[in-house]
């Protein structure tokens, strides 16, 4: 059986268990994929794998609107880490979720360079080694002045679509600083340099789980994951914290009482 068949079988098992109302996964649609809630008894032949789509935000929305519901969800490594960080901040109740862990393939890892391309519990697929974010490593070797010039060029392209925030599984504040007139003047493009993007970056310290969706959703092709990868490395080196690795580890900014 190939990976997709195995995933269908795993999803079927969860659906047949009687424990969940449905399984959130991806469905093949118009040549791509889209999040879909499969119910018990549904045909799973159009359950799909790629392109990946972030599911934690969607499952949060579903659980919030149906406080009694229990769901299954297919999770790649980044999805699982996202749910773990959300759970630490009381955004999602993991007791109401049955995770179906999916390991990424080497090809998928090459597409979004990921250091941990598998969930803690793998139901389908085999763990492959993570890869370094080459562009982030190159950036780290530049001087501060060169980095400043680089980001000045990149952030000048931003036209404030807020896509990076909208797609991020870790952006769940009810009031977003990036919509606060004190920090971000309305109707002005590009947004203030460098504060707009650095506010978001600093707000994701200890939370960003490296799903790459911000960069994938950016219409201006700003390589945001360079920034987030380096911040993640800093948090690891300074505080020994790896977002989403385990439910027990306390995020440094939560310990400090900042978030």
Q: Which of 159, 175, 182, 246 contacts other proteins by CB under 8 A?
A: 159
Smallest gap from Cβ 214 to other proteins, in A, equals 11
Q: Which two tokens stand for residue 205?
A: 């310290």
> What's the min distance (Å) between Cβ of 176 and other proteins?
13
* Rounded Cα–Cα distance for residues 26 and 49 (Å): 6
How many CB atoms are located within 10 Å of the residue 213 CB? 23
Q: Is 179 in the site for other proteins (CB under 8 A)?
A: no
Residue 93 binds other proteins, judged by CB under 8 A:
no
37 binds other proteins (CB under 8 A): yes
Instruction: Establish how many alpha carbons lie within 13 A of residue 121's alpha carbon, considering only the half-sphere containing its beta carbon.
Output: 8
34: number of CA atoms within 13 Å, CB side?
Answer: 4
Closest approach of Cβ 21 to other proteins, in Å?
Answer: 6
The continuous run of DSSP H or E covering 23 comes out as strand 22-29
Nearest CA-CA partner of 174 in 89, 51, 113: 89
User: Binding residue for other proteins (CB under 8 A) from 7, 8, 11, 35?
Assistant: 35
173 makes contact with other proteins (CB under 8 A): no
Q: Is 167 in the site for other proteins (CB under 8 A)?
A: yes
H-run or E-run covering 134: helix 134-140
Query: Which of 130/163 has CB closer to other proteins?
Result: 163
Among 12, 21, 42, 192, binds other proteins (CB under 8 A): 21
98 SS3 class: strand
Element (H, E) at 149: helix 144-155
150 near other proteins, rule: CB under 8 A: no
Q: Given the rule CB under 8 A, which of 54-62, 79-87, 202-210, 248-256 is the region that contacts other proteins?
A: 54-62
Under the binding rule (CB under 8 A), the answer on residue 62 touching other proteins is yes
Strand-pair category, 32-38 with 22-29: antiparallel
Interaction site with other proteins (CB under 8 A): 21-22, 24, 29-37, 51, 53, 58, 61-62, 65-66, 69, 159-163, 166-167, 216-219
């Amino acid at each position: 059986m190939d990976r997709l068949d195995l995933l269908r079988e795993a999803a079927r098992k969860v659906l047949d268990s009687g424990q969940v109302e449905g399984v959130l996964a991806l469905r093949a649609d118009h040549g791509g994929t889209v999040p879909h809630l499969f119910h018990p008894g549904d045909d799973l032949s159009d359950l799909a794998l790629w392109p990946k789509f972030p599911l934690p935000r969607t499952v949060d929305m579903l659980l919030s609107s149906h406080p009694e519901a229990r769901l299954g969800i297919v999770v790649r490594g980044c999805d699982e880490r996202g749910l773990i960080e959300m759970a630490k901040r009381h955004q999602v109740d993991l007791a109401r979720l049955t995770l179906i862990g999916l390991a990424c393939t080497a090809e998928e890892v090459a597409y979004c360079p990921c250091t941990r391309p598998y969930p803690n519990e793998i139901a389908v697929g085999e763990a492959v080694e993570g890869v370094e974010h080459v562009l982030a490593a190159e950036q780290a070797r530049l001087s501060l002045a060169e980095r400043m010039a680089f980001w000045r060029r990149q952030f000048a392209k931003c036209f404030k679509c807020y896509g990076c925030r909208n797609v991020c599984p870790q952006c769940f504040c009810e009031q977003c600083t990036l919509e606060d007139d004190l920090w971000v003047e309305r109707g002005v493009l590009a947004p203030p340099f460098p504060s707009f993007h650095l506010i978001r970056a600093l707000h994701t310290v200890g939370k960003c789980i490296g799903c790459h969706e911000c960069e994938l959703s950016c219409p201006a092709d700003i390589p945001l994951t360079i920034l987030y990868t380096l911040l993640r490395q800093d948090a690891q080196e300074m505080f020994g914290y790896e977002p989403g690795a385990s439910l027990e580890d306390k995020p440094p900014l939560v310990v400090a009482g900042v978030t």
